[in-house]
Amino acid sequence: MTTILQLNNSVFGDNGQSSQLADEFVAKRLEAEPNVRVIRRDLAAEPVDHLNGERFKAALTSPEERSPAQAREAALADTLIEELQAADEVVIAAPTYNFNVASTLKAWFDHVARAGTTFRYTENGPQGLLTGKTAYVFVTSGGQYAGTDLDFQKPYIQHFLGFLGIGNVHFVRAEGLAMGEQTSQAALTEAGEAMQKLAA
């Protein structure tokens, strides 16, 4: 059975364009493969706490050596990592806020990047431990940044996922959504067509 981990991040909830693209993609995957298991997290509606010193230290402490307080601090990160480890596919709805990812997604990244669990350092540099997975990232933005020096989001997401060992990453972009009705509709139509091809 294929397991999909879906991460939505729009402050507009299910009405966000990135959420709609991700939701439609997952719906198409379910049509094609009914036995797919979906783990869905709306990180905007239920945000992950940002890292602090106590959480970071707890996460780095082996489970058998954690104090009760550390076990409580590490519990959420443990769950998030287990969900990611179980997933065959990761679907990320990634609206662009102030040129980069939503802080909710960044917080999730910070929790699932755990040395010795999702990656490790070797004498040849870091090695991702989450190989064999595929990621689909739906990027939406009010402006148009692809191919420019202001495109911070795609390189960051691609590098982070690759750091964890997820090298097979597909991006679908809908840009210029605040640049008038014609530009917006054209971008959404193009993104929808790209999404359909990936889902098939």
128 marked among binding-site residues: no
142 marked among binding-site residues: yes
Structure tokens at 151: 């495109």
Calculated CA dihedral for residues 26, 30, 31, 33, nearest 10 degrees: 130
Report the relative pairing of strands 3-8 and 119-122 from DSSP bridges: unpaired
Q: Please name which of 19, 39, 150 lies closest in space to residue 94, comparing C-alpha atoms.
A: 19
Give the distance between the most distant pair of CA atoms in the chain: 58
Rounded to 5, what percent of the chain is helix, strand, coil?
Answer: 45, 20, 35
* 14 DSSP assignment: G
165 marked among binding-site residues: no
Exposed e or buried b per residue across 18-54, where buried means at least 16 C-beta atoms within 10 angstroms of its C-beta: bbbbbbebbeebeeeeeebebeebbbbeebbeeeeee
Q: How far apart (Å, rounded) are the C-alpha atoms in residues 148 and 154?
A: 11
19 marked among binding-site residues: no
62 marked among binding-site residues: no
Q: Which residue has the tokens 């980069």?
A: 100
Q: Which residues make up each annotated binding site for FMN?
A: 10, 140-143
Q: Which residues make up each annotated binding site?
A: 10, 140-143
